[in-house]
Amino acid sequence: MGQDAFRQALAGNGVPRGGAIGYLCSYTPEELILAAGLQPVRLFPPGGPPGPADTYLQSFACPFARGCLDAALRGEWDWLAGVVFPYTCDSLRAVAEVWRMYLPARSLFFINLPLRVEGEAAQEYAAREFERFRRWLEGVAGGPVVADAIHSAVRLAGSLREALAGSGLAGRPFLEAAMGAQVMDRLAALELLALPDEAGVAGGTRILVAGGALETPVVLRELELAGAAVVGDDLCVGSRYVALGGAWGDVPPPNPVAELARAYLARLPCPAKHPAWRRLDALLEQVAALRAEGVVFLLQKFCESHAFDLPYLRAGLAARQVPSLALELEQGTLPRGQTRTRVEAFLETLGGGDRR
């Protein structure tokens, strides 16, 4: 498998620059972007010290949001034909508004998705928002986005997710492939996943990582160095993206845009959506299926959506005798010394210790 190609893509090499639409959340219907003849590119901020975003955002905005705005204000994403923000949290909404005001040359679209994903009213509302997005894409692409093109795009994106799910990868190699695939030409990523690979899960105490967006898969290296074997994840850049589902059948539905909206609301909701009990059930199922000995939560500092969910999830895990640990990300990284100490202590409580 082309792990090096996925790593290179995450480093900015091989990213399709012509007609690229950047997006900041896995609730973005990348199928509509593909159907418009454009390239969906998930945006991962480069990390590093605070930059010009601190002039526009409160100090308690999460580092991921600040990093995205820093990159935009520094002109690092000027090659994009447009950018789309699905509503996830107030910090990224603030980034969208600053982007709209201070980077007017960049075409921007905001998808105002419902917070509660259950019910017919939520599906109808999401379908209208997806339809608005389709019309915006037609303006960017300069041509219609037709049903047949949407059907072909759904099959391509679904095939890619199925290939990632069936790759046999886990932990950092899986995140490299999943995150790399989200910034690459989708067909090229699918071809890379068809190549043979011998990667397996490294030795160590089996853990599952959970959380939201990561800037880089390298974050998992700190867990590995402490003696953990990451056997799976519940991250929006990893398994939650893949779990969106496979391709449609040979016959397209009567209204592909509405069906696409239904599929996105039916996916496992992230902490920015409701209800939360589905996340706990899915987390417990993953722990059992992967024989994980514990769960490590990776939280962006000041991320209220995930912080509000954390006590409920940890209590639910504890009730099923599943230990957990919460670590805080700052500027895309984990503090090395402190993280190593805390993770090693956590693994010792699981009876694993350092198995390197």
Query: Could you tell me if 112 and 261 are in contact, meaning their C-beta atoms sit under 8 angstroms apart?
Result: no
pLDDT tier for residue 94 given thresholds of 50, 70 and 90: very high
* Predicted pLDDT of residue 202: 67
Where are the domains positioned within the chain? 3-152, 203-349
CATH code, 203-349:
3.40.50.11900
* Predicted pLDDT of residue 319: 97
- Strands in 82-86's sheet, in edge-to-edge order, are 39-42, 20-23, 82-86, 108-111
- Beta strands (DSSP E) in the chain are 20-23, 39-42, 82-86, 108-111, 205-211, 228-234, 294-300, 324-329
pLDDT tier for residue 198 given thresholds of 50, 70 and 90: low
Pick the CATH number of 3-152 from 1.10.3190.10, 3.40.50.300, 3.40.50.11890, 3.40.50.720: 3.40.50.11890
The residue with tokens 């095939």 is 159
168 pLDDT more than 70: yes
Measured in whole angstroms, the distance separating CA 48 from the mean position of its chain's CA atoms is 20
CA-CA distance, 327 to 311, in Å (whole number)?
Answer: 14
Mean pLDDT of the region 181-209: 86
- Decide if 3-152 and 203-349 have a common fold: yes
| pLDDT tens digit sequence for 40-51 | 999 999 877 778
Reading the block at residue 234, the tokens are 């519940």
CA-CA distance, 162 to 244, in Å (whole number)?
Answer: 10
| pLDDT tens digit sequence for 96-122 | 999 999 887 678 999 999 988 889 999
356 pLDDT more than 50: no
| pLDDT tens digit sequence for 239-288 | 989 987 656 667 788 899 999 999 999 888 888 888 888 899 999 999 99
